[in-house]
């Protein structure tokens, strides 16, 4: 992946608007967070291959970035995004890596389903 | 000497830190070891240092790392279950127990090594081990393999007592380090520190590399 280029990302968001997409959205603090620090309140979520279609969307922030997509009947939102890549399957991958390089959030869009 | 050892863990690298030396002692003895690995650790947070993976490429990278680790361990029979990281506790338990039972019947191990259900921190660890124990429980007592279970949750020794199986694996420490190293995407961040501490004779790190500890799981006979 490479650091987010806000202008290129905005172009990509515009191109995907109105299309039927598969989404992977995930946040994680790691399964060992509470093991390493008993007081830590561990949360995480992931949703993979849900289908969405958005009307319009934006990338904002000074970096790390936020992306918000306005759906026909709701919203999709992610913050803490640092890196991105359009892979050889044309899947658009956004990720937020913490200072140690660990993935903390992933937000991904694809016209084809992601591997189960 | 064991007839056949069956190692069952959910993630590539689960076999590296607390078990690799024990596996090496078996394979170098000529005892066949089968490794059932349920997932490819698809949801790992470590993406290499520098970053070499993303969420979609991580499974392929970890598959190669797992295969290399098996080669280094002398494991010739690796069976992947094709499940997804983080989902083991939500899968159909009966199906999982049956898959475990099929492997056990096929391999006919004298010893199974897995986690200790309830004391293994990660929900995938606990759920994997629980399915293994259920499968063993359903066997007739005289056909059951011994189960050596790995526990590391905070305070587990207060409840389980001291582990009854303590292996000195110092003879395999170098090769064990290579196995840990093979899981590069996951271990690159900690490896430098680990190696340095080991070289400097740091007691905790030496203990961790040279000693592997297990609890013989008390299979319950009351359902017979």
Give me the CATH number covering residue A91: 2.70.180.10
**Helix B184-199, helix B203-210: angle, nearest 10:** 120
Taking phi over 0 as left and psi of -120 to 50 as alpha, with beta for the rest, A72 belongs to alpha
**pLDDT score of B49:** 87
Residue B221, pLDDT above cutoff 80 = no
In a domain, A44, yes or no: yes
**pLDDT score of B174:** 95
Residue B35, pLDDT above cutoff 90 = yes
Placement of tokens 């098996």 in the chain: B70
Cross-chain CB nearest to B47 (options A24, A101, A115): A101
Encode pLDDT of A33-62 as tens digits. 888 888 889 999 999 999 999 999 999 999
Residue B224, pLDDT above cutoff 50 = no
Instruction: Name the E strands within B29-155.
Output: 33-39, 77-83, 111-115, 146-150
Domain count, chain A: 1
Domain boundaries, chain B: 5-216
Cα–Cα distance measured from residue A96 to residue A98, given in angstroms and rounded to the nearest whole number: 7
Q: B28-37, B103-112, B205-214: which has the minimum mean pLDDT? A: B205-214
Q: With CB atoms and an 8 Å threshold, state whether B55 touches A91.
A: no
How many A×B Cβ pairs under 8 Å?
A: 61
In a domain, A63, yes or no: yes
Confidence tier at B61 by pLDDT (50, 70, 90):
very high
- Interfacial B residues in 37-56 facing A (CB < 8 Å): 43-51, 54-56
Bridge-based pairing of strands A83-86 and A75-81 is: unpaired
**pLDDT score of B193:** 85
Please give the share of chain A, as a percent, with pLDDT higher than 70. Answer: 100
Cα–Cα distance measured from residue A13 to residue A17, given in angstroms and rounded to the nearest whole number: 6
Please give the share of chain B, as a percent, with pLDDT higher than 70. Answer: 98
β-bridge mates for residue A23, sequence order: A50, A109
Fold of B5-216: Rossmann fold (3.40.50)
Q: With CB atoms and an 8 Å threshold, state whether B189 touches A24.
A: no
Average pLDDT over residues B51-67: 97
Higher-pLDDT residue of B85 and B204 is: B85
In a domain, A34, yes or no: yes
Cα–Cα distance measured from residue B97 to residue B105, given in angstroms and rounded to the nearest whole number: 12
Cross-chain CB nearest to A108 (options B47, B55, B86): B55
> ipTM of this model?
0.91
Q: With CB atoms and an 8 Å threshold, state whether A31 touches B121.
A: yes
Minimal-distance CA residue of chain B relative to A92: B56
Average pLDDT over residues B54-78: 98
Q: With CB atoms and an 8 Å threshold, state whether B86 touches A46.
A: yes
Contact B163, B213 (CB under 8 A): yes
β-bridge mates for residue B211, sequence order: B168
DSSP label at B2? -
Encode pLDDT of A57-79 as tens digits. 999 999 999 999 999 999 999 99
In a domain, A71, yes or no: yes
**pLDDT score of A2:** 96
User: In the sheet where B33-39 sits, what is the strand order?
Assistant: B77-83, B33-39, B5-9, B111-115, B146-150, B211-216, B165-168
> Is the pTM higher than 0.90?
yes
* Average pLDDT, rounded, for chain A: 95
Residue A22's domain comprises 2-110
Residue B222, pLDDT above cutoff 80 = no
In a domain, A115, yes or no: no
């Amino acid at each position: 992946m490479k650091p987010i280029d806000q202008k290129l990302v905005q172009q990509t968001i515009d191109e995907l608007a109105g299309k039927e997409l598969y989404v992977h959205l995930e946040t994680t603090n790691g399964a060992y967070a509470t093991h390493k620090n008993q007081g830590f309140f561990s949360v995480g979520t992931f949703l993979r291959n849900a289908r969405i279609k958005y009307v319009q969307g934006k990338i904002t922030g000074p970096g790390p970035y936020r992306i918000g997509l306005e759906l026909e009947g709701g919203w999709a939102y992610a913050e803490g995004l640092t890196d991105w890549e359009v892979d050889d399957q044309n899947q658009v991958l956004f990720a937020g890596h913490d200072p140690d390089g660990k993935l903390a959030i992933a937000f991904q869009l694809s016209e084809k389903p992601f591997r189960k | 000497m064991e007839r056949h050892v069956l190692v069952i863990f959910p993630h590539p690298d689960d076999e590296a830190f607390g078990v690799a030396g024990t596996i090496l002692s078996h394979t170098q003895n000529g005892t066949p070891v089968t490794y059932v690995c349920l997932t490819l650790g698809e949801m790992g947070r470590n993406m290499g240092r520098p970053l070499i993976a993303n969420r979609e490429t991580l499974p392929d990278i970890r598959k190669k790392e797992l295969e290399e680790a098996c080669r280094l361990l002398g494991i010739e029979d690796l069976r992947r279950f094709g499940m997804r990281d983080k989902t083991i506790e939500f899968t159909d338990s009966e199906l999982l127990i049956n898959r475990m039972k099929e492997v056990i019947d096929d391999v006919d191990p004298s010893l199974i090594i897995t986690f200790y259900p309830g004391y293994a921190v990660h929900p995938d660890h606990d759920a994997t081990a629980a399915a293994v124990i259920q499968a063993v429980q359903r066997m007739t007592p005289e056909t059951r393999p011994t189960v050596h279970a790995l526990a590391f949750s905070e305070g587990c020794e207060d409840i389980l007592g001291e582990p009854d199986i303590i292996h000195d694996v110092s003879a395999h420490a170098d090769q064990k380090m290579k196995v840990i190293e093979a899981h590069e995407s996951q271990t690159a961040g900690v490896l430098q520190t680990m190696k340095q501490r080991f070289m400097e004779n740091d007691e905790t790190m030496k203990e961790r590399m040279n000693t592997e500890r297990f609890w013989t799981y008390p299979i319950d006979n009351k359902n017979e």
